[in-house]
Structure 1
Amino acid sequence: MCRRSSKRNLEINEIIKLYEDGESTTEIATIANVSSRYIRMLLKQHHVEMRPRGSWKRKYTLNEDYFKTWSNNMAYILGFIIADGTIARDVQFVSIAQKEKYILEAIREELGSNQPIVKNKDTGVYMLTINSKVMKNDLIEIHGVKPNKSSTIEFPHVPKEYMSHFIRGYFDGDGYINYKQYTVTFVSGSKSFLEALINVLKEKEFTPQFQQQGANYRVHIRGRKSVKLFSDWIYKDKNEGLYLIRKYHTFKEEKLELHQLADRKHVNTQEAIMRRKLNFLTIYALTHSMEYTCACIEIKPASINRWMNNAKLFKRNFEFIKNDIKKSE
């Protein structure tokens, strides 16, 4: 009996099925987070008929040239892969991970594939892995999606007529909507990618805000009207394309028409935030009361922690005032 590997993230029956569907032991090992030697040992101990080493056969269909031609859905899937996909460095496959299985099933159908979707037993996340040297090379050479892309990915050339679909795909993979705060947020480890995204959003007359949090970067669109405009833009042709139902329904919480909406004036501009920080420090230095100061400028105490984490000058001034208050008490 084969000993269970503590780091293996696929069940034995899933491994056997992948091999019987034509996957190589090297590719299965990469997906399962173990060595190919371990995979071969496991298959033999479960009496699976082994193919000669180096042989490979495809038992599933695939439109390998899919990423050579632009379409609404191609733009969406490209954005989705940039956000939630993996381009393998040493083997010829592209994988996409997602908690909602139905979106992977829709992507699989669009790619013309019947490749099995597997579930990671530890995380509960589903994974669609497409084996294709042609598709991998097209993503790398045509669209610039390289292995280990998280911090180095550049914004690809996307024709304007497909931009909203690309943005929707990326947003479904690495974005979120906070409806109560009327905020749309994009996340990336690549500063360059988000700087290019900001330019795209500005062309659509949004006012995006850039933020760095540790090794990650964020771009925000704020305001009730702006969030509605963003929703209308990315879901314009939703009936003909792919999208995550969960995020779409969050946007649909807005019950008013566009002409009834307005963004709060100047609340979230960089200049306004700087003024609020200065007002906070001034009032706090005079009153010595955190609660009173927050009430005066209409912010929550959590905002102070966020400012402390993201603004070194504010943190230094706040701590100076706080220490001065302690000395005077």
Structure 2
Amino acid sequence: MGNEKKRRNGRKRTMEIEDMIKQYQEGKGTKEIAEAANVSQGYVRLIFREHNVTLRPFGHWHRKYQLNEHYFKTWSNNMAYILGFFYADGFIASAQQTVSFAQKDKTILEQIKKEMQSDQVLYQNKQTGVFMLNLNSKIMKDDLIQLFGISSNKSSEAVFPEIPDEYLNHFIRGYFDGDGYVNPEKNVVSFVGGSQQYLQALLKILQNKGFNVYLKEIEKSYSRVIISGKRSIYMFGQWIYSNRNLYLKRKYELFQQQSLNQEQLEDRKLSRTKKAVLERKKQFAEIYKINQSIEDTCAEIGIQLNTYQKWLRTDATFQNRIKNDFK
């Protein structure tokens, strides 16, 4: 056959057989080669058999782009970040051997693919402006499913994975960069998600870290984990960006604003919190029991007389305690 041009169904082959074989051996599929050569896919396979080219079975995918397929098997700061980022902005298709990331920030996807030793080309949706990083790997997909319990319906079924404590801040930074939000002016950080089980676990972790945090349902299928207070926001930023490497620059910069400077950071004064008010009422009752003077007790704990009167009107327990002490 050599360099002789072959015809198939009236079409002229536009690629030399040697080039077709070379492209196949470099990883291209028979369909892609057939389109480039202006012949049918069956004709390409026939030519390969005649030239003793070992054919890959139907459905087999041969890598076109480089990738460390075993990336999620080994913990590291960057692996934890990318895993957290995937929990927020990633997905696996049920019918394809593909692991995908979606983000409007092209830079972070470029950094992620470099970290994963991939030269995969990014795709951009022209309507939404969102960039896609699609990594074709059955091994990587299986690892995400088997090691971390991720499913194709991750948005509502995600379960918080077991993360070694030394990598926890990197994982949460990745999740925050995907599904997190910070408002420096209102001193609020929030995470949004559709899996109640995942958010409840996240809530508990953040509470254990000492942040002022609560869960708020925004729709039937979505909720927010919210961190509030200047000091909590500052400490959260210090924690997630500790030993950072991968991160979204625009979100990081919000934590560096003057309103979140260490010198200005104090949560609301204890006098404005429920816990503090209860403590002051307790303190008031103890001091009053000794001196039996409303005015002196107000002065000693630093409240106005009208505050004491308000406590009497609105808190029956406090009122009964004062009356009993007066007796």
Superposition deviation, residue 148 in structure 1: 1.1
Establish whether residue 243 from structure 1 lines up as the match of residue 247 from structure 2: yes
Which residue of 219, 222, 230 maps to 1:216?
A: 222
Superposition deviation, residue 208 in structure 1: 0.8
Which residue of 56, 71, 84 maps to 2:76?
A: 71
Measured at CA, do residues 146 and 24 of structure 1 come closer, stay the same or move farther in structure 2, by a change above 3 Å? Answer: farther
Superposition deviation, residue 177 in structure 1: 0.3
Establish whether residue 234 from structure 1 lines up as the match of residue 254 from structure 2: no
Superposition deviation, residue 256 in structure 1: 6.0
Which residue of 109, 119, 143 maps to 2:124?
A: 119
Contact 2:187 2:233 in 1 (8 A): yes
Superposition deviation, residue 190 in structure 1: 0.5
Report the 3-state secondary structure (helix = DSSP H, G, I; strand = E; otherwise coil) of the residue aligned with 1:150.
helix
Contact 1:92 1:136 in 2 (8 A): yes
1:114-263 pair list within 5 angstroms:
114-214=119-219, 215-238=221-244, 241-254=245-258, 257-258=261-262, 260-263=264-267
Superposition deviation, residue 49 in structure 1: 8.3
Query: C-alpha deviations, 1:236-277, integer Å up to 9, x for none?
Result: 112xx10000100111113664354111147997999xxxxx
Unmatched 5+ residue regions in structure 2? 1-23, 46-57, 277-327
Measured at CA, do residues 180 and 257 of structure 1 come closer, stay the same or move farther in structure 2, by a change above 3 Å? Answer: closer
Superposition deviation, residue 56 in structure 1: 3.4
Measured at CA, do residues 49 and 55 of structure 1 come closer, stay the same or move farther in structure 2, by a change above 3 Å? Answer: farther
Superposition deviation, residue 146 in structure 1: 1.2
Cα distance in 2 for partners of 1:270, 1:212 equals 22
1:60 maps to 65
2:110 maps to 105
Kindly provide the amino acid, as one letter, of the partner of residue 206 in structure 2.
L
Cα distance in 2 for partners of 1:268, 1:131 equals 54
Measured at CA, do residues 111 and 45 of structure 1 come closer, stay the same or move farther in structure 2, by a change above 3 Å? Answer: closer
Superposition deviation, residue 121 in structure 1: 1.7
Superposition deviation, residue 166 in structure 1: 0.3
* TM-score after normalising by structure 1: 0.66
Contact 1:209 1:220 in 2 (8 A): yes
Kindly provide the amino acid, as one letter, of the partner of residue 264 in structure 1.
R
Report the 3-state secondary structure (helix = DSSP H, G, I; strand = E; otherwise coil) of the residue aligned with 1:236.
coil
Measured at CA, do residues 255 and 44 of structure 1 come closer, stay the same or move farther in structure 2, by a change above 3 Å? Answer: same
Cα distance in 2 for partners of 1:141, 1:81 equals 15
**Larger gyration radius, structure 1 or structure 2:** 2
Cα distance in 2 for partners of 1:220, 1:109 equals 32
Q: Percent identity?
A: 50
Establish whether residue 80 from structure 1 lines up as the match of residue 85 from structure 2: yes
| Cα-Cα RMSD | 3.0
Report the 3-state secondary structure (helix = DSSP H, G, I; strand = E; otherwise coil) of the residue aligned with 2:135.
strand
Superposition deviation, residue 23 in structure 1: 7.7
Cα distance in 1 for partners of 2:82, 2:145 equals 14
Measured at CA, do residues 159 and 70 of structure 1 come closer, stay the same or move farther in structure 2, by a change above 3 Å? Answer: same
Cα distance in 1 for partners of 2:29, 2:90 equals 20
Cα distance in 1 for partners of 2:134, 2:271 equals 45
Cα distance in 2 for partners of 1:270, 1:133 equals 53
Report the 3-state secondary structure (helix = DSSP H, G, I; strand = E; otherwise coil) of the residue aligned with 2:225.
strand
Report the 3-state secondary structure (helix = DSSP H, G, I; strand = E; otherwise coil) of the residue aligned with 1:57.
coil
Cα distance in 2 for partners of 1:137, 1:73 equals 20
Cα distance in 2 for partners of 1:232, 1:68 equals 28
Cα distance in 2 for partners of 1:95, 1:23 equals 21
Superposition deviation, residue 169 in structure 1: 0.2
Cα distance in 1 for partners of 2:269, 2:39 equals 67
Superposition deviation, residue 59 in structure 1: 2.1
Report the 3-state secondary structure (helix = DSSP H, G, I; strand = E; otherwise coil) of the residue aligned with 2:87.
helix
Cα distance in 2 for partners of 1:86, 1:137 equals 13
1:305 maps to none
Cα distance in 1 for partners of 2:226, 2:200 equals 12
* TM-score after normalising by structure 2: 0.66
Measured at CA, do residues 136 and 256 of structure 1 come closer, stay the same or move farther in structure 2, by a change above 3 Å? Answer: closer
Cα distance in 2 for partners of 1:106, 1:165 equals 15
Cα distance in 1 for partners of 2:191, 2:72 equals 24
